[in-house]
Amino acid sequence: MTEFPGNFALARAYSKVEQEAYSAFASTISEEDGKALRLGRRTVWLRRTRILSRFLSEQGIALPEEFLRPYAIPVSERISSGIPLKYQFRGYNILRDLARVAIAAPELLQPDTAPVSVLDPSAGGCGVVEAMRHYGHSVTSRDYFDPEQPLSLGNAYREIHAEIGVDIQNFDGRSRPYGFEDDSFDYVFCFQALDAYAPMSDWSEAVEELLRIASKGVILVFNPSGRDKTGLIGGIYRMLLQLEPRDLDVTSFTCPDTNLPGMKLQYRA
């Protein structure tokens, strides 16, 4: 497999630009405010971006320059809009989700692959849409918006959505059945969001809905409830046992960035 050492050079140059922008912003506020905003943590997410660039090189994936181009959103606006620090970095958003697809469905990243339609019901920083549309696929993005809480997390990404030209409509994963017809999309990607749709004991109900919407399959990355990872694997196993019988191929994987468990549920042809 061909590797692309230029990936890391791009990621390193990207990290430098972001570091300079955040250092310039930090110089305009007090040290106490900088600590409160945890700006020093930016080095963590930029380092993980560089690590992901190497991982993708090892997978034979060459990164286009636009994946590692900072948002035009000023640092001050990224912060004031409430975007969590790690999602303020375009390179990290895209490379994290691209790496997940590279592990779970590498066939979707091949140049001769026929375009597919994808639903990303909890789009956040929209790494999925930016990554997948580069490969010719169409992505419908949704997220949870609470009109009563304008500073809630789902609303925080609006600046990113506006910049990349994505129309995000409200999606509440707790409200079932979901407002899509059967087989509306080829795939549904649900990355670290299932825990917001249902308690672990009811994950199968949410996944049943995702499978109803998808004609080819569903790709999941699981989050533990809160910070407690105890029982996560057992919860995933119980979810599988509770699903209605289907002709599915089930493939497990580990997210290359978070080390969280993932799963691809693929309908057999």
Reported as a single tens digit per residue, the pLDDT across 76-129 is 999 998 899 999 999 999 999 999 999 999 999 998 999 999 999 999 999 999
Q: Is 95 helix (H, G, I), strand (E, B) or coil?
A: helix
- Per the model's pLDDT, the better-predicted residue between 155 and 40 turns out to be 40
Mean pLDDT score, 243-248: 89
Q: pLDDT at residue 47 above 90?
A: yes
Strands 138-143 and 261-267: unpaired
Domain with CATH 3.40.50.150 in the chain: 107-267
What mean pLDDT value characterizes the chain?
A: 92
Q: How far is CA 49 from CA 12, 53, 89, 99, 254, in A?
A: 9, 6, 9, 11, 17
CATH for the 107-267 domain, from 3.40.50.150, 1.10.1660.10, 3.50.50.60, 3.40.50.1110: 3.40.50.150
Q: What's the CA gap between 141 and 77, in Å, rounded? A: 23
- Per the model's pLDDT, the better-predicted residue between 151 and 224 turns out to be 224
- Tokens coding 241: 């046992």
Q: Which of 62, 65, 83 is nearest to 73 (CA)?
A: 83
Q: What is the pTM of this model?
A: 0.94
Identify the pLDDT of residue 131: 98
Strands, E assignment, 18-172? 117-120, 138-143, 169-170
β-partners of residue 117 are: 138
Query: How many residues does the structure list for the chain?
Result: 269
DSSP 120: E
Q: Is 244 helix (H, G, I), strand (E, B) or coil?
A: coil
Q: What's the CA gap between 167 and 80, in Å, rounded? A: 21
Q: What's the CA gap between 222 and 236, in Å, rounded? A: 8
Per-residue confidence at 36, pLDDT binned at 50, 70, 90?
confident
- Tokens coding 7: 């990936």
Mean pLDDT score, 181-205: 96
Contact yes or no for 14/70 (Cβ under 8 A):
yes
